[in-house]
Amino acid sequence: MPPPSVQELKKAILKGGFEVYRTRGSEIQLAERPRENLIMDAGISILHGDPLRLRVTVRAQKADFPGENDEALFERALALASPLLSRGFAEVERRARPLPDPGDPSHILDTWLEIFLERSLSESDDLLAELPPLLQLNKAAVR
């Protein structure tokens, strides 16, 4: 049986009580609300395809750990992923993402060292039941 369409998935996610941050092609990014008037990317995506995949992004920010090299920051991010690894997630990509100053794109404010982890969902997995523990997971390394 083919997976539901992106629009059907989005409707099911909303009906399940979750917020969507944005949809980009076949990727539905979930939102979180640290405050009532603030919506942010939760670092959790559902990737449409056969099979459906869950993607979680963990990160460490250079500004939070001055003097540490990129490899040490990736290790900090990977430490956040240990609960995911035990649940069947696997690392699929590492990336350094510079964050430019919106007023002067030639000036870099910070750099995020991100690790992307994914897990395929089987037909017996309940997507909506998988999301709450992922939303509770700390996805950014802190001092």
CA angle (82, 85, 88) in 5-degree steps: 155
Instruction: Tell me which residue has tokens 């802190």.
Output: 142
Query: Predicted confidence band at 1 (pLDDT cuts at 50, 70, 90)?
Result: low
d(CA 114, CA 78): 9
**Strands lying side by side in the sheet with 53-61:** 20-24, 27-35, 38-47, 53-61, 104-120, 90-101
DSSP class per residue in 72-140: HHHHHHHHHTHHHHTTT-EEEEEEEEEEEETTEEEEEEEEEEEEEEEEEPPTTS-HHHHHHHHHHS--B
The tokens for 57 are: 């992004």
Residue 57: strand pairing partners: 116
Query: Predicted confidence band at 131 (pLDDT cuts at 50, 70, 90)?
Result: very high
pLDDT in tens, 79-125: 999 999 999 999 999 999 999 999 999 999 999 999 999 999 988 77
- What DSSP designation does 17 have? T
Q: With left for phi above 0 and alpha for psi between -120 and 50, is residue 76 left, alpha or beta?
A: alpha
pLDDT in tens, 18-63: 999 999 999 999 999 888 889 999 999 999 998 999 999 999 999 9
pLDDT for position 96: 97
